[in-house]
Structures are given as C-alpha cells and as structure tokens.
C-alpha cells in the first residue's frame, strides 16, 4: 500500500507491505516546527528540540492553525482525508474492517493511553452516525522495555496474566509507537496463545529502523525517522506525558531526566 497524502516539505507517499494501512511518511530531514509557535509547559523549557507532530495534526483541528502561522500544510489527493484528521482516518479503516463485529481493545500502557482514548472516541462517533454499531470493551495492559532512550531485552507485560476472555474475540491492540517490532512481536505471540478469532494492531507512530518490516501495525498513523519523541502520553523516564504535541527531546532534556 501507499501513503495517501503528501506534503510540500514534510511527507511523501511511500510503499507499504501488503496488509498494512500506509502511514504518513515524515522524511529523515524534517526539522520539525519551532517551539515558539506552540504552547507547551514552561517546566520543559530547554528540554525539547522541536514540535515534530502538532496535536491538531494527530486529531482534526489544525489545518487552519497551520495556515495562520504560515506553517507547511499538507496536500492530499481527492477523496482522501487530510492528515490533520489522521486519527479519524484510522477509525474509519477499523470500522471498514471490523464494523460488523464486537471488538476487544487492548490498550498498551502507558504511552498508548491518549491515542487509545482518542481512537476509541472516533470509532464511537462513527458508529453513532452509521447504521452499524460496534460493541467495544477496553482492557489495559502495560509493557515496559525502555531504560532512558534505549530499548532493553527485558520485557515486562503487566495486566495480561489472564486474557482467557479473548478466546474467539476480535482483538484490536492499540500502541503508540513501534520501533524494531520486537516488543510487538512478543506481545502478539502472547495474545495469540489465548486463541482470539482475529488480531489487528493500530499504531500511531512507526519508526524507520532496520528490520522492522516484519511486524508493522495493520493501521499506521505516521511513519517517522529514528528519533526519540515524547509527548501525547509518550515519555522519557515518566516525564513529558503531559505534552499535547509530539516533540523531539533535546540532549539537555535527556541528561536532566536520565536515570
């Protein structure tokens, strides 16, 4: 598949493996937006390099704001939703695939909680305005594999001791970010052991790192360079979850909050 939109300076269509929803591709050279164009908590002053993806671009309200600030605005093909409505587009894709079935949503904490809330809200809104309603239940699990900005081999899955209720169910795993895919691969094997009918994965961000093509989400928001990003519930040692935008942490920020 191919990404359905492109932007003058930031994104371009990119080929995707069969079976995935093409995410909006952000180029390696994308410098991000200047911090002084956005509001963010003052206690993070000096801890960030840039705003990488504004909150409104993740949601559905930012195109006019970008124009007002003379910031780059995406161009989209006829019939496609602009990237400022990315979460809604993912919700529509999920509705198209799973709209006739009950769904058990597995929200991967802690980084995935904000994306999960917004995605489930969009699915519910679409369901209310269609002739199909989707019964959903949400279960929370927690994965922990990072120390500072490095992924470790030691993966802990909390809240998943007994997932026997997944047997015969359609499962949607919601994760904020996928890097090498090793963590997701481990989680999928664990969930598969409980014999669900179907498993789909929605990932807001996919990093371009070597050897991650084997375990890409079925629904992808954005494909990003291999940079350490925080905000929108993504953290660095539990800090930065209170940022609305997805930002790139600075060297000073890493040193300040290093464990």
Share of the chain above pLDDT 90, in %: 50
Residue 156 has pLDDT above 90, yes or no: no
Number of Cβ within a 10 Å radius of residue 70:
8
Q: pLDDT-based confidence at 44, cuts 50/70/90? A: very high
Residues 237/148, Cβ–Cβ less than 8 Å: yes
**Residues 122-129: contacts with CB under 8 Å, at least 24 apart:** 122/87, 122/88, 122/90, 122/91, 123/91, 123/94, 123/95, 125/91, 126/88, 126/91, 126/92, 126/95, 127/95, 127/99
Residue 197 has pLDDT above 90, yes or no: yes
How many residues in the chain?
Answer: 259
Would you state the pLDDT for residue 82? 42
Q: Please, what sign has the CA dihedral across residues 231, 27, 226, 181?
A: positive
Would you state the pLDDT for residue 132? 75
**pTM recorded for the entire structure:** 0.80
Residue 146 has pLDDT above 70, yes or no: no
pLDDT, averaged across the chain: 79
pLDDT tens profile 6-24: 333 343 333 333 333 478 8
Would you state the pLDDT for residue 130? 80
Q: pLDDT-based confidence at 80, cuts 50/70/90? A: very low
What distance, in Å, lies between the first and last C-alpha atoms of the chain? 41
CB neighbour list of residue 46: distance below 8 Å, 6 or more residues apart: 250, 252, 253
CB neighbour list of residue 256: distance below 8 Å, 6 or more residues apart: 47
Residue 116 has pLDDT above 50, yes or no: yes
Tokens encoding 180: 């090498």
SS3 of 38, please?
coil
Rg of the chain's alpha carbons, rounded to an integer? 18
pLDDT tens profile 105-114: 999 998 999 9
Residue 61 has pLDDT above 60, yes or no: no
Tokens encoding 67: 């124009």
């Amino acid at each position: 598949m191919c990404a359905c939109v492109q932007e003058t300076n930031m994104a371009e269509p990119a080929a995707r493996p069969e079976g995935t929803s093409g995410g909006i591709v952000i180029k390696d050279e994308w410098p991000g937006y200047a911090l002084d164009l956005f509001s963010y908590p003052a206690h993070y002053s000096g801890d960030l390099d840039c705003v990488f993806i504004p909150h409104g671009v993740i949601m559905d309200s930012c195109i006019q704001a970008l124009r007002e600030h003379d910031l780059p605005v995406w161009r989209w093909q006829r019939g496609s939703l602009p990237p400022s409505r990315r979460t809604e587009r993912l919700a529509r894709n999920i509705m198209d695939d799973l709209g006739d079935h009950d769904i058990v949503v597995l929200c991967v904490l802690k980084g995935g909680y904000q994306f999960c809330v917004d995605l489930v809200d969009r699915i519910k809104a679409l369901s209310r305005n269609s002739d199909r309603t989707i019964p959903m239940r949400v279960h929370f699990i927690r994965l922990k594999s990072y120390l500072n900005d490095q992924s470790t081999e030691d993966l802990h899955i909390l809240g998943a001791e007994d997932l026997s209720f997944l047997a015969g169910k359609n499962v949607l795993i919601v994760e904020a970010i996928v890097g090498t895919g090793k963590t997701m691969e481990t989680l999928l094997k664990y969930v598969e052991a409980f014999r669900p009918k179907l498993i789909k994965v929605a990932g807001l961000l996919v990093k371009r790192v070597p050897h991650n093509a084997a375990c890409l989400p079925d629904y992808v928001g954005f494909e990003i360079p291999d940079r350490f990003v925080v905000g929108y519930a993504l953290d660095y040692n539990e800090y930065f979850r209170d940022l609305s935008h997805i930002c790139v942490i600075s060297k000073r920020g890493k040193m300040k909050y290093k464990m």
